[in-house]
Amino acid sequence: MGMVRFVPDEGLWLKGNLHAHSTLSDGNLTPDRVIAAYEERGYDFFALTDHDYYARYAPREKMILIPGFELAGYMGSKRVHLNVFEKGPVSRFAQGQRFSIQDEEETRAFIEEYQDEYLFMLNHPDWSLLEYRDIEAYDQFFALEVMNWGTEYYDGIGEGSYFWETGLRYGRRWGAIATDDNHNGYTDEPGWPFGNTGNDSFGAWIMVKAKVRTRQAIIAALEAGHYYASMGPEIHSFTVEDGWAEVHCSPVSRIIFSGENRNLRRRLGENLTHFRAPLRGNKEHVKVRIIDEKGKTAYSNPIYLKDV
């Protein structure tokens, strides 16, 4: 086979957070303050996803805003949270519209009605106490949260890679998203809140490879899986060619290639920036995880071997 890249070679790397809250739901800062904080931190795009509340916000000078919200629904008896992102330029929802889903039937009907015009992401599966059987009847998710920084930082239950990999083994082509899910609940202390030790912002994000710096290009990249999830480490390139996987990255202490089974290849050391290894027993896909000396992780989306 020829060389296959996990994202296109050409394009722009853009950094973004797709899960955040404000005073319009259960966050503690106003929408403008939350949005401004991410813009000041150099994020390229951002979605303010208040619970069951749709809103569009005025354009920012330096940051692209993606309209979205967090929908609470049901799958079986389990309460689930889904982030809903607007794909096109026109919304089917009214500014300030609120949603109230009462059961699984309404959840399924909502997804089926809007799936062509909106992207659906499954949020924090561990925090929601989900098992794969709870959601196996649904195939409309483009991605799930493999890292939810807010629940990981506070409670140690935001890492969802096991749930993600279970879905991949069952044939789901979910992307891996890392988000903050920040609520900024430490603002009773004086001064700028984002320097507080309880800060649940800026801990996890995605890096999207978009053709150009527009909302439409970012949405297209999300749909195509052209991104990776990170808490800090950078994946510069990840390729498969003639049965070998290869990655170039920022300095880390662990690099792990994995597929649908325990077909692992790994390299351990200090300041590792490159790893090349033959695939071992991979039939469906291969992905890479890199981990730095502080335990911060980045997760690639899979390269699907049957497509190459």
Distance CA 264, CA 259 (A): 7
Helix or strand run (H / E) with residue 83: strand 78-86
Distance CA 247, CA 276 (A): 7
Domains of the chain and any CATH numbers:
8-231 (3.20.20.140), 232-308 (2.60.40.10)
Beta bridge partners of 305: none
| b/e map 175-208, b = 16+ CB within 10 Å | bbbbbbbbbbbebeeeeebbebeeebbebbbbbb
pLDDT of residue 198: 86
CB 148 within 8 A of CB 200: no
For residue range 142-189, list pLDDT tens digits in order: 999 999 999 999 999 999 999 999 999 999 999 999 999 999 987 555
Which residues of the chain carry a pLDDT beneath 50? none
3-state secondary structure of 211: coil
**Which residues touch 85 (CB under 8 Å, ≥6 apart)?**
18, 47, 66, 67, 68, 118, 119, 121, 219, 222
pLDDT of residue 307: 79
CB 203 within 8 A of CB 3: no
Distance CA 153, CA 173 (A): 27
pLDDT of residue 308: 73
3-state secondary structure of 283: coil
Helix or strand run (H / E) with residue 221: helix 215-224
pLDDT of residue 187: 57
3-state secondary structure of 114: helix
**For the purposes of burial, counting CB atoms within 10 Å of the CB of 42, is it exposed (0-12), middle (13-18) or buried (19 or more)?**
exposed
For residue range 190-202, list pLDDT tens digits in order: 556 788 888 999 9
Beta bridge partners of 68: 85
For residue range 46-62, list pLDDT tens digits in order: 999 999 999 999 999 99
